[in-house]
Amino acid sequence: MTLPASTASTLSYDNKDCKYSVFYFKFHALGACPRALLCFGEAQWDNKVQDLSEWPQIRDSAPFGTLPILLETDLTTGKTIEIPESGAIERYLARMFGLLGDTAREEVLSDVFYAQAVILDTKYIEMLRCTFEEIRMKALEQFLGTTLPNWVKACERHLKENGNTGHFVDNKFTLADIKTAVVLDTYLALDSEKVLNPTNCPCLWKLKKTVDTHPTYAAWRKSEQFKDMDEVVQAGVGALMPLDIKKSHIFS
């Protein structure tokens, strides 16, 4: 991780003229939220796809041997910052683009529901992806029957209290909205219709629509690059469990 010595000025969230590169593999997973945030920030960015076959030779040059990595280039000074760890990248971009709320109250609300989306996604990966073939279908039943509905219920309760604005925090976009909409893509693609539908979770449905119809993000979701990654996910995850990636494109 190559943060410059004087991080105070680098992290002061002034209006720097920057461009960004997201280094990740050719699928959504942990690359999806950083890419979405760059759309919401109307940033100048590109998607650097790491070929899986070349990854073993490159792994040692990554700070923690993993991707995603965000590269920020200050266009005025030419200085670069390399940031690993998806959570750090997401919070950094959210802060840069004013997506962490404007007060401590707003920030903590965003943090809580951001954390919930991260925890749910970690459970999904542990229960369904990194598991044995023999128990995957049983784990899917438990995820769709208990884990996902519990998360949906908690989100609905808060979103309703917030007036069903399509946001977790008042009437403004925060990291929590964006992370939630991103992780929902995966669950919508599963056989989750009983849980994820406009009658059972009207407020989450509205949040998903509010995020996915943001013009810059909607354009990214319709891009060839995004479609290519959809295909990779369909082939890879679809080989492990029933999945139809088209179902994640309800609104864009």
Ligand X SMILES: N[C@@H](CCC(=O)N[C@@H](CS)C(=O)NCC(=O)O)C(=O)O
* Distance of closest approach, residue 68 Cβ to ligand X, in angstroms: 6
122 binds ligand X (CB under 6 A): no
Q: Which positions from 32 through 61 interact with ligand X, judged by CB under 6 A?
A: 59
Q: Which is nearer to ligand X, 86 or 186 (CB)?
A: 86
C-alpha pair distances (Å), 36 with each of 47, 128, 239: 11, 24, 26
Q: 75-79 contacts: CB < 8 A, separation 24 or more? A: 75/17, 75/18, 75/19, 76/16, 76/17, 79/4
233 binds ligand X (CB under 6 A): no
Member of 20, 23, 28, 29 binding ligand X (CB under 6 A) = 29
* Distance of closest approach, residue 62 Cβ to ligand X, in angstroms: 8
- φ, ψ (nearest 5 deg) of residue 7: -75, -20
Q: Which is nearer to ligand X, 56 or 78 (CB)?
A: 56
Q: Which is nearer to ligand X, 23 or 205 (CB)?
A: 23
Size of the residue set binding ligand X (CB under 6 A): 10
The DSSP H or E segment spanning 140 is: helix 133-142
* Distance of closest approach, residue 181 Cβ to ligand X, in angstroms: 18
Measure the CA–CA gap between 228 and 224, rounded to whole angstroms. 6
Q: Which is nearer to ligand X, 30 or 38 (CB)?
A: 30
Say whether the peptide bond before residue 202 is cis (omega within 30 degrees of 0). no
Tokens representing 196 are: 């994820």
Q: Which is nearer to ligand X, 68 or 101 (CB)?
A: 68
User: 31 burial class (0-12, 13-18, 19+ CB within 10 angstroms)?
Assistant: buried
Q: Which positions from 62 through 121 interact with ligand X, judged by CB under 6 A?
A: 65-68, 85-87
Binding site for ligand X (CB under 6 A): 29-30, 59, 65-68, 85-87
